[in-house]
Amino acid sequence: EPEVTQTPSHQVTQMGQEVILRCVPISNHLYFYWYRQILGQKVEFLVSFYNNEISEKSEIFDDQFSVERPDGSNFTLKIRSTKLEDSAMYFCASSVDGNTEAFFGQGTRLTVV
Amino acid sequence: DAKTTQPTSMDCAEGRAANLPCNHSTISGNEYVYWYRQIHSQGPQYIIHGLKNNETNEMASLIITEDRKSSTLILPHATLRDTAVYYCIVRVATRKLTFGQGTILTVHP
C-alpha cells in the first residue's frame, strides 16, 4: 500500500541552526501538507502546497519556515533558524486532490537544544 | 471551519462495538465530516469521511444524522490495537484539517 515517507525519523539540532525535513508523498498525489504536534498538544496545521505554490498557511508558518518541491518527488520543510519552541513532531501529508482524504507520514521528531 | 465536540475519553470491551459520538451543530452545507485516529505519537491515520449519507469501509462506519449536526463513528469489533485518540473534524474541501483534542478510546481485554 502506498505511503507517505518522512526522513529522518528523529533530528536533533542546535538552536539557531537550519533544518530541512524531507517527505516523499504518495506518487499520484497533488496536494501536500505539513502539520506539527508539540508534545502533549494538538496536531496543528502549518501549510498546504499545490501546483508549486502555497495554497494555505497558518499563523505559525512565518518567515522562518519555507516549503519546496525541489525535484517532483520530494516535499521539504525548511526552518531557517530553529528555536527551542520548534521542538515537535512534524507530519507530512498528501492527498490526490484537495477534496479527498489526506494520508500522513509517520513524522519527524525535531528536538532543538 | 465548524467546531466539533467530542467526549474526552471512552472505554470499550474488546470484541464489542465502539460508538464514538461527535457534535458539529454549526456545520455548513459544504463541510464534510472526517474521522482520523492517532496511535501514540504516530501520524494521524485516516478512517472515513462523509457529507450527508452514512458511509462504511473496511475500518469503520460513519452515521451522520439527517440534520447533519452530529455523527457517530462505529468500530464494529474493537480490538486492543484500536486504542487511540479519535478525531472528528469538519472540513471544507481543499482546506486544512483542524484537529481538536479528540476522544481517547481505550479498548480493554
* C-alpha cell recorded at residue A86: 520548534
* Contact of A25 with A2, CB cutoff 8 Å: no
| A-B Cβ pairs (cutoff 8 Å, strict) | 52
**H or E element at residue B12:** strand B9-13
pLDDT level of residue A109 (50, 70, 90 thresholds): very high
Handedness of CA A20, A97, B94, B56 (dihedral sign): negative
Question: Using CB atoms, which residue from A93, A99, A104 is nearest to B94?
Answer: A99
Segment B51-55 mean pLDDT? 94
A80: Cβ contacts below 8 Å, ≥ 6 apart: A18, A63, A64, A65, A66
Give the pLDDT confidence score for residue B1 in this predicted structure: 62
Question: Using CB atoms, which residue from B44, B49, B96 is nearest to A104?
Answer: B44
pLDDT level of residue A76 (50, 70, 90 thresholds): very high
pLDDT level of residue B16 (50, 70, 90 thresholds): very high
Contact call for B46 and A33, based on CB within 8 A: no
The β-bridge relationship of strands A88-95 and A108-112 is antiparallel
**H or E element at residue B61:** strand B61-64
pLDDT at B2 over 70: no
pLDDT at A91 over 70: yes
> Residue B45: its chain A contacts at CB < 8 A?
104
pLDDT level of residue A84 (50, 70, 90 thresholds): very high
Q: What is the pLDDT of residues A40-65, one digit of tens each?
A: 999 999 999 999 999 999 999 999 99
Contact call for B45 and A104, based on CB within 8 A: yes
CA atoms within 13 Å, Cβ hemisphere of B64:
24
Q: What distance in Å separates the CA atoms of residue A18 and residue A81, rounded to the nearest whole number? A: 5
> How close does chain A come to B27, measured CA to CA in Å?
17
Q: What distance in Å separates the CA atoms of residue B82 and residue A15, rounded to the nearest whole number? A: 38
Closest A-chain CA to B49: A101
* Contact of B45 with A101, CB cutoff 8 Å: no
pLDDT level of residue A113 (50, 70, 90 thresholds): very high
**Residue B102 identity:** G
Question: Using CB atoms, which residue from A45, A91, A105 is nearest to B98?
Answer: A45
Give the pLDDT confidence score for residue B75 in this predicted structure: 98
> Residue B96: its chain A contacts at CB < 8 A?
33, 45, 48, 56, 58
pLDDT level of residue B92 (50, 70, 90 thresholds): confident
Q: What is the pLDDT of residues B70-90, one digit of tens each?
A: 999 999 999 999 999 999 999
B92: Cβ contacts below 8 Å, ≥ 6 apart: B1, B28, B30, B31, B32
What is the four-CA torsion angle of A71, A77, A79, A85, rounded to 10 degrees?
-170
pLDDT at A1 over 90: no
Contact call for A37 and B34, based on CB within 8 A: no
Measured in degrees and rounded to the nearest 5, phi and psi for residue A91 equal -110, 130
Is residue B1 within 8 angstroms of chain A, CB to CB? no
Is residue A91 within 8 angstroms of chain B, CB to CB? yes
